[in-house]
Amino acid sequence: MSIHEVFMPALSSTMTEGKIVSWVKSPGDKVEKGETVVVVESDKADMDVETFYEGFLAHIIVEAGETAPVGSAIAFIAETEAEIETAKSVANSGGAAATPTSSPEPVAATASAATPVLASQNGSNHKEGRLVVSPRARKLAKELKVDLTTLQGSGPHGRIVAEDVEALSNKGKQPAPAPVAPPAPVPTSAPVTPPAPRTPAPTPTPVVAAVPGQTVPLTTFQNAVVRNMVATISVPVFRVGYTITTDGLDKLYKQIKSKGVTMTALLAKAVAVTLQKHPLLNASYSDQGIVYHSDINISVAVAMDDGGLITPVLQNADAVDIYSLSRTWKSLVERARAKQLQPQEYNSGTFTLSNLGMFGVDKFDAILPPGQGSILAIGASRPQVVATPDGLFGVRQQMQVNITSDHRIIYGAHAAAFLQDLAKLIETNPQSLTL
């Protein structure tokens, strides 16, 4: 007989604990090797966690909505139905199955042979032809008794989403697939592969209402932000501001906006191209010295609806054309807000942008993210009365930017030179961003 523990996986390098979003399987359900059994919220995203074992979900230790440290047991899987009650007894006795013992009892002996399951052991890679279903759709299908194999998913990569299940249940026929923009390629080599991106549901993520006199616990995302912000306190930083005229950039944006280009992508592209001339601003500090990164990956801060923030990364932003960059950005934001980003899509940044211009903010100081050398805060572009080169007065669109840099490796002159070149590019040659 064999009883196995399912452990809380480490879904990112900074994750110390995970929150159970939902259990896809219920106690007593049959599970196949590589099948999703639980959805876990890490400090950055929601991910499907697949079992390494075949058998029956015998007992759930950590219920939906609860948290557990990485590496701790969250459930038991029994290889046979006859062992389900035994697994429950083991759980009720304090999880003795995880402790080696010399007892000849078959369950204890088998359990002692079981090694802690890492993230790569809990999960398996997604494969071609595998049914890809969102956790919400899977739960809804179970409630409505809908056979998922009869559905054709309307989500990206053919993923079955809740709307597909509802459509079949309400109309009694298979829903037609909805056209979607081609998403960024999803690698399939990671040990724990997140589910394919899905179209966010029309209903916004519920936010816990603030009640006077009540203490609302921080979300996993918010706790991750707290840890990162505390980690930055020990870094000596300085800030440099600059005013940039954006008339040319605004004109370009109006010309190509209809082709799907976003202002975020234009700004990221402008920063990335300027960083080619200033590799020190794209570098980071380490105990061994200055780390000069081989790629220019621009992180852009995105606020989450349910608290916290995440920084999707536009990788190789200097080399990718503006149209592809904009499509990638749209896909990243959709999947970030659906908590479906892969780790490399939010933790590989080398330089960060934080834009509050859409809120009408004139200027602000951004906090340097751990592991990076600089972050650029961008304010709103506003009409300003300025003195023109011919000695007259004119009205120009201007925005204020403010860079925060790690003073251990970057000095004031370096940051000022970078901002000067960034302003020159935006003011005199914005058309080059489309080349």
Answer yes or no: 157 catalytic. Answer: no
How many Å apart are CA 241 and CA 237, to the nearest integer?
Answer: 14
Nearest alpha-carbon partner for 337 in 21, 14, 45: 45
* Residue 344 phi, psi (nearest 5): -70, -10
Cβ-based neighbour number of residue 77 at 10 Å: 24
Strands 374-378 and 351-355: parallel
CB 400 within 8 A of CB 363: yes
How many Å apart are CA 251 and CA 261, to the nearest integer?
Answer: 13
Marked catalytic residue, from 4, 126, 407, 414: 407
Nearest alpha-carbon partner for 191 in 77, 42, 49, 21: 49
How many Å apart are CA 145 and CA 103, to the nearest integer?
Answer: 44
* 1 to 29, 61, 235, 435: CA distances (angstroms): 18, 20, 54, 64
CB 370 within 8 A of CB 352: no
How many Å apart are CA 53 and CA 35, to the nearest integer?
Answer: 9
Q: Where are the beta strands (DSSP E) in 36-99?
A: 36-41, 46-50, 55-60, 67-69, 73-78
Helices within 145-190 (DSSP H only)? 162-171
Q: What is the DSSP string of 194-212?
A: PPPP-PPPSSPPP-PPP-T
CB 280 within 8 A of CB 290: yes
* 6 to 13, 124, 359: CA distances (angstroms): 20, 13, 45
Q: What residue type is 126 in one-letter code?
A: H
Crossing angle between the packed helical segments 263-275 and 322-337, to the nearest 10 degrees: 120
Catalytic positions are 407
